Structure 1
Amino acid sequence: MPAFPKKYFFTLSIVATLLIAYYLCLPTTLFNAPTATVVESRHGSLLGAVIADDEQWRFPIVDSVPYKFKSCLLQFEDAYFYRHPGFNPVSMVKAMGANIAAGRTLRGGSTITQQVIRLSRDGKKRTYLEKAIELVLATRLELREPKEAILKLYASHAPFGGNVVGLDVAAWRYFGLRPHQLSWAQAATLAVLPNAPGLIYPGKNPSALRVKRDRLLKKLLQQNRIDIITYELALLEELPQKPHPLPKTASHLVQFMAKKHRGNRITSTVDENLQRNINGLVQKHHQNLRQNQVHNAAVLVLDVRSREVLSYVGNTQTTAEHQRDVDLIQSARSTGSTLKPLLYAALLDAGELLPDMLVPDVPTQIAGYTPENYSEEYSGAVPAKDALARSLNIPAVRLLQKYGLEKFRDQLDAFGLRGLDRPADHYGLTLILGGAESNLWDLCKTYANLASTVNHFNRTSSEYFEKEFADPVLQTDQRVEFGEKSIEKTLFDAGSIYLTFEAMKEVNRPQADESWRFFDSSRPIAWKTGTSFGNKDAWAIGVTTDYVVGIWVGNADGEGRPNMTGVASAAPILFDVFGLLPRSRWFQKPLDAFVDITVCSGSGYLMTDACPPKTISIPNKKNYVKSCPYHHRVQLDANRQFRVNSFCADLSETVSQSWFTLPPLMEYYYKRVHPTYKTLPPVREDCRSTGRPVMEFIYPQNGSRISLPRNFEGKINELVLKLAHNRPDTEVYWYLDKIYLQKTRNFHEIGVIPSQGEHKVTAVDALGHEISIMITVE
């Protein structure tokens, strides 16, 4: 076999080297310039954008090039684009001849493909060698990419004047439209701009831009791309005078998403129409709020079923001085009373509470902590569901102490409330009244998870999902994975959550909606307000089967304002937002989660033979609620004026009667708001006492530590001692450290100024009943 000539080896090596060099000459990624972060609505409308890191308005590469712009671009720049291999020799020769004849550059012969290469090699000097390199790279690009991809590269990176780069942003900046919404005149204007981007600036001669545009429109007419009527109407359209600002429909959402998706185009789950309407609502309410020097508010709307964010209004359109750029949906703030429904659900779920159970609402001091109701009034005793609906602080604190602070704090971890990251002893019992911090995002997520638990339980075979507590979804390409079905509850069972929502539905609405139940068009909503200490944060969160709406109102700098409360400031926005949403049906009762029991109709405790019965449904679980302690059988004389017993009367001649009786302190306040409450008749003088307590201290409580302030005259204020007696007209004798002070009748309160240190306060009534407490004066 003859040897292969050596001279061919050299030739083949040269050819192979050139082919490899040609194959590798084009970078894998042509454009490495940073792009803006672009956030669109679920339907593709621009919500806002963050400028690229190099301060250029350059959007990520377009998905497609609209027909009108493509037609204009090809007619203006490269009519033979689909027929050449990356360069057009005829155009190059014509351009060279015209430029030589004129002695200057009049026209260019570059194809769109060559222009893409030139844009990718930004900064290179315009020399014949550079033109040759561009030509080679253009042919390589044609071999690697389809024509449509090359057009997208051009449309995404062509300069349109100033720091506007790419068709997408140019359409927004100059016409306030998406590219596919452009008219023929607008598309023609943008098609000619990359050839002379300086013509767009105000102050420049617009006639040159108009001439270019109109010449292109005439060419389109001649090529039968448009008809004569479209052509004539297009000539009448005005040119853009200056760049328009990009939309800021959801500016805080854009900034939030830019932290994780810098430089990307994101299709969010936000409904643009809803977002715009809520923006308008927030601004309308802001006009009223700022009269009280309240400058900030935030709104979040979630879809319960999909967990999608439908609206994200992070702040009002206030001034920079008032922190308009702060995203208050993500900002940690005092939770106020927004955690109370979670405690109520926890107690129901644990079998330690029934909805109508009376809970104490009296002056309370626990380990030096003295909670107060917002109204600074007391009801004595109130049904648990009413305590939640009225957002009473004292019952909530007492219930938290009863349930267990540590246990409740551990359960809150399941909700993923950011900001609530300290141990239970750091918060103490103030945890339930706003002693902790969280944010609107996590609180809305929490209530959406609870609502979804009930929905899923009803739609399945009474089952739960293992991953029910899911994070909200912000992108249309994301889906919530709820995990596998299980008969085990995620945290709280569906029955307990349903009863919690039932209680929240009864919260008194703002004044304009007070009579909502009487209208067929009314919207049943489970909702809760919250007001933090010092009126710094006003909350309102509402839940239906379909939506969760969360509102925060306040000042971003933490300044509190008088009369700024959840009910007065946040709730009106809440119900206005619900007015923009489709109506939702009320939650279906999860029947499999309930069992019927009989309770006392007056107290809500388990029934005894001494109380009128009532059948209710409670969560189907072990019940730890005790029998009613407030209904008793009492023996009355024949005239029903006095209580008697076997020591002083023949029981066959007495009347046995069921009587609802509260302890003295609870009774003292309860009968003020319940005029039908009947105090037990007195024990007949010849009968022994039944041993039931007849009086109780209202203030101070046993073990209290008390500081006595000075008044404006520099004198120490008195300590007011106060007690409740079940027979107020009985005389009571007061002692301090065994030293007699005075007696009282009807109104049992006196003022004293004890010295510093420990003291024993004793009260003895005329019948010999005695009570004592220990206090420390500091």
Structure 2
Amino acid sequence: MSRSWRWLTPALLLGAAVLALAWPLPQPLLAPPYARALLDRDGHLLAATIAADGQWRFAPLAEVPERFATALVTFEDQRFFVHPGIDPLALARALRDNLSQRRVVSGASTLTMQLARQVHGQRPRTLTNKIIEAWLALRLELRYSKAELLALYASHAPFGGNVVGLNAAAWRYYDRPPQQLSWAEAATLAVLPNSPALIHPGRRRDALAARRDALLQTLHQRGVLTDLDLAVALAEPLPQAPQPLPRWGEHLLFTLQQQQPQPLYHSTLALPLQRRISQLAAEHGGRLMGEGIQDLAVLVVDHQLGEVVAYVGNHDGADRQRAGGMLDVIQRPRSNGSLLKPLLYGLMLDQGELLPGQLVADVPTHFAGYSPMNYDRDFRGAVRANEALARSLNVPFVRLLRQHGVEPFHRRLRELGLTDLFRPAGEYGLALILGGSESTLWDLVTVYSQLMVAARDGEQGDYRRPRLLQDEVPSPLPARLSQGAAWLTLEALLEVVRPGDDMRWRRFSSSQPIAWKTGTSFGLRDAWAIGSNGRYTVGVWAGNAEGQGVATLAGTATAGPVMLDVFAALGRAAWPARPAAALMAVEVCRDDGFLSDGLCERSTDWAPRGSHYQQVSPHHVRVHRDAAGARVHAGCENPLNMITEAYFQLPPVQEHYWRRQHSGRRIPAWRADCLAGLAEYTDEQPMALVYPQDGTRVLLPVELDGRLGAVLFRAVHRDPQARLQWHLDRRYQGETRVFHDMALRLEPGWHRIRLVDQHGRAVEQWVKALARERMPQAAIETRVPQLGGQDAGGGPAAR
């Protein structure tokens, strides 16, 4: 045989060995089903769901804590860090022991070989499989570092029962993360993979204690443990039955599983705060369940950091067997009540359509059959815009939305972050401002938190949705309010006033400033409270996830107390300073808040810089009187003898309701000899129709016998002694005194209504009557707005 052939066999063998070692490893190396786990910002477990195969197996560890690694290597494989995956010394010892005992008493498996056995599929322990595992162990050592191999082993080793992996074992047996294990706990878990059955209570507990203590003694002998460490470790008891896993974020975990399935979610939540808010929600939830209110959700955002710090999708007392009990209500669209009012207020400030102290009308209002009502079913005639927001009055905001426009408001709401406005603006109509749309608590808290960001940081603010996961980069929001508008809006919400406010809120409001808003949906199905202090925005929703209404449900009484208790748990936070550079002073009339018309006493209001407000006061008139104080005109008094003064005067309907609640200087009454020529010498209009308004379409009621019913008309006059004559299409209908109500029967079509007072002054307007076929009794409903009635935008939405 030639020399070249002599080396061929070893070369082939060597090549075969190299090829065998280089053979690709399975990909993925291990792919069992994992449990889903939610961690807080510091790595603490908040909630978990079991894996599909019924095992508590969490996502693999990135690295093994030092104590457990030391204990595991000392107990299982002392030469782990020096051998290539197979320990020759251990093999020799095992061969010797097995031959002397004439049976298998030692397997000489290294940690890498045990990992290889998991990769190979837990096959029967035959010689062939042992050789395959050794070969696989060598390949693993070539591919992975020792730290990576140790982490893979610890993440998939059995720890008794259906507990797999160190992470799950630490939480199930000790209710803490692996990084916080004591030496005794680390030693206990280090011996378990070798004999997992030892962990079961009542089953060979002495053997488990003996193994743990022996390992602790070895660690002490090697200088790892001091005498004190050893004494403390030996005194620690063994774990009992597996601990129930935390349930501080199970609704959020369920939502995350639906949105982006993965085994591990590292959230921005803070466990101590999440636990406290969850406990508060459970306490209030238990109280509310006694009232028939089953579900309660709380969301807390740190708007300084732009992160969610507490997330309670439903309180712990909720019945998990109910259809709505496990719903994450934070992510469920619900009727938003009157929570959009601050946004309309801020947008109109920015557009120069409104000033905080400007009077807005609060009178009976009817738009194409839509008749909003305030929560107290009363009218104030006119009210300052910031007070209308603080009192959450419905009528002024419906009128403001009509002025601003539903379409631009709808568009801006979407740009601000409300994603559930999926219908065209026209389908929502004016009811959009009173809960005619749906939003999630998530979106609403996002928008309110961005108000605080805008008020505090202005152009430098980071306008994004709050971050919920550590590795999340939320996309920027396309729109925001200006810094000045945001600050003025929040300032108005600091003055929130509600009917029935109790001393609890008054005591709380003195402890720290909070800008907050409540809302209640029509049908009493949703109660909301959202507020912000200098650091946090808190949102609360209460109701029944399945949609049942509850008579006692109201934002102020139901959700408000929960929000206040959450703020108390969060502690004080400094309120942002007035952004002087973002505001400009505006000279206005003191009595109505419009720009001065030269006839009024002046004061100063604030507007967002650059908003270009231009509305001059329309509410002041020049009045001529004689020396005795009676009102006169040129037809009854020499102009040289007249004294001219300016008076504040609202339109007749507004004044009618305004005078119920306000005193103050009134325009003098006409002198008796001046009454005859009023229509000739003054164009002042002292009267107006309250309902129906000019151009209104009314649906004629149908009486039980099928005939068309009468429509109730109502008018007001500044003179309480006035007599009004009513004319329908030039036909005299009758006269009213003091209370000017008249029921008129109309035929379908357009009609002219004309009112004339005793001095010949007249007002007229048009109304269109609409008729329908007679309906069965069960279906009959009167569509004509009733004075003092309630509709879908009515009282409850403002509470």
TM-score, normalised via structure 2 length: 0.88
The alignment status of 1:515 with 2:506, answered yes or no, reads yes
Deviation (angstroms), 1:14: 4.2
Structure 2: how far apart are the matches of 1:118 and 1:518?
Answer: 65
TM-aligned CA distance change 1:123 to 1:86, over 3 Å: closer
TM-aligned CA distance change 1:742 to 1:254, over 3 Å: same
The equivalent of 1:486 in structure 2 is: none
The equivalent of 1:46 in structure 2 is: 45
The alignment status of 1:501 with 2:493, answered yes or no, reads no
Mapping of 1:614-625 within 5 angstroms?
614-621=603-610, 623-625=612-614
SS of aligned partner of 2:431: helix
Deviation (angstroms), 1:694: 1.5
**1:33-56 Cα deviation digits (max 9, x unpaired):** 232332211122111223334332
The equivalent of 1:378 in structure 2 is: 379
Mapping of 1:215-614 within 5 angstroms?
215-227=214-226, 230-317=229-316, 318-320=318-320, 321=322, 323-457=324-458, 463-464=459-460, 468-478=462-472, 491-508=480-497, 510-515=501-506, 519=510, 522-614=511-603
Q: Which letter does structure 1 place at the counterpart of 2:642?
A: T
The equivalent of 1:460 in structure 2 is: none
TM-aligned CA distance change 1:261 to 1:422, over 3 Å: closer
TM-aligned CA distance change 1:331 to 1:103, over 3 Å: farther
Q: Which letter does structure 1 place at the counterpart of 2:559?
A: A
The alignment status of 1:164 with 2:152, answered yes or no, reads no
SS of aligned partner of 1:688: helix
Deviation (angstroms), 1:612: 0.8
Structure 2: how far apart are the matches of 1:594 and 1:57?
Answer: 58
CA contact (8 A) 1:728 1:748 kept: no
The equivalent of 2:129 in structure 1 is: 130
Deviation (angstroms), 1:471: 2.0
Deviation (angstroms), 1:577: 1.5
CA contact (8 A) 1:724 1:748 kept: yes
The equivalent of 2:649 in structure 1 is: 661
TM-aligned CA distance change 1:4 to 1:216, over 3 Å: closer
**1:475-519 Cα deviation digits (max 9, x unpaired):** 334566879xxxxx9543221222111111111275244435984
Q: Which letter does structure 2 place at the counterpart of 1:395?
A: P
Q: What root-mean-square deviation, in Å, do the aligned CA atoms of Structure 1 and Structure 2 show?
A: 2.9
CA contact (8 A) 1:250 1:312 kept: yes
Structure 2: how far apart are the matches of 1:323 and 1:448?
Answer: 27
CA contact (8 A) 1:353 1:625 kept: no
CA contact (8 A) 1:671 1:677 kept: no
Structure 2: how far apart are the matches of 1:366 and 1:730?
Answer: 28
Structure 2: how far apart are the matches of 1:715 and 1:516?
Answer: 59
Q: Which letter does structure 2 place at the counterpart of 1:766?
A: Q
SS of aligned partner of 2:192: helix
**1:619-659 Cα deviation digits (max 9, x unpaired):** 23253532111111111122113x21222212232221221
Structure 2: how far apart are the matches of 1:100 and 1:740?
Answer: 126
TM-aligned CA distance change 1:322 to 1:262, over 3 Å: closer
The alignment status of 1:766 with 2:758, answered yes or no, reads yes
**1:659-697 Cα deviation digits (max 9, x unpaired):** 111111111111111133635523632543412221112
SS of aligned partner of 2:675: coil
CA contact (8 A) 1:307 1:472 kept: yes
Q: Which letter does structure 1 place at the counterpart of 2:380?
A: S
The equivalent of 2:738 in structure 1 is: 746
SS of aligned partner of 1:774: strand
Structure 2: how far apart are the matches of 1:424 and 1:67?
Answer: 60
Structure 2: how far apart are the matches of 1:517 and 1:211?
Answer: 58
| Number of equivalences | 760
TM-aligned CA distance change 1:482 to 1:329, over 3 Å: closer
The equivalent of 2:797 in structure 1 is: none
The equivalent of 2:793 in structure 1 is: none
Structure 1: how far apart are the matches of 2:52 and 2:656?
Answer: 69
The alignment status of 1:724 with 2:716, answered yes or no, reads yes
Structure 1: how far apart are the matches of 2:633 and 2:508?
Answer: 49
CA contact (8 A) 2:676 2:759 kept: no
TM-aligned CA distance change 1:777 to 1:770, over 3 Å: farther
CA contact (8 A) 1:354 1:625 kept: no
The equivalent of 1:173 in structure 2 is: 172
SS of aligned partner of 1:685: helix
Q: Which letter does structure 1 place at the counterpart of 2:490?
A: F
**1:164-206 Cα deviation digits (max 9, x unpaired):** 1101110101111211322333222212221222233356453
Q: Which letter does structure 1 place at the counterpart of 2:655?
A: E
**1:67-107 Cα deviation digits (max 9, x unpaired):** 33223322322233234332233433444554566666544
Structure 2: how far apart are the matches of 1:102 and 1:14?
Answer: 34
The alignment status of 1:699 with 2:691, answered yes or no, reads yes
Structure 1: how far apart are the matches of 2:289 and 2:685?
Answer: 53
Structure 2: how far apart are the matches of 1:423 and 1:621?
Answer: 31
The gaps in structure 2 that reach 5 residues or longer are 772-799
Structure 2: how far apart are the matches of 1:26 and 1:625?
Answer: 76
- Out of 628, 640, 660, the position equivalent to 2:629 is 640
**Between the two proteins, what is the percent identity of the paired residues?**
40
**1:280-306 Cα deviation digits (max 9, x unpaired):** 111121122122211112111112233
The alignment status of 1:776 with 2:777, answered yes or no, reads no
Deviation (angstroms), 1:739: 5.5
SS of aligned partner of 1:672: coil
Structure 2: how far apart are the matches of 1:518 and 1:296?
Answer: 27
SS of aligned partner of 1:344: helix
TM-score, normalised via structure 1 length: 0.91
CA contact (8 A) 2:417 2:446 kept: no
SS of aligned partner of 2:329: coil
Q: Which letter does structure 2 place at the counterpart of 1:515?
A: R
TM-aligned CA distance change 1:25 to 1:608, over 3 Å: closer
Q: Which letter does structure 2 place at the counterpart of 1:306?
A: L
Which deviates the most, 723-732 or 204-213?
204-213
SS of aligned partner of 1:150: helix
Which deviates the most, 574-583 or 739-748?
739-748
CA contact (8 A) 1:295 1:322 kept: no
Deviation (angstroms), 1:704: 3.6
**1:718-757 Cα deviation digits (max 9, x unpaired):** 7543221101222223455655554332222245666777
SS of aligned partner of 2:678: coil
TM-aligned CA distance change 1:5 to 1:218, over 3 Å: closer
The gaps in structure 1 that reach 5 residues or longer are 458-462, 484-488
Structure 1: how far apart are the matches of 2:7 and 2:99?
Answer: 43
Deviation (angstroms), 1:387: 1.1
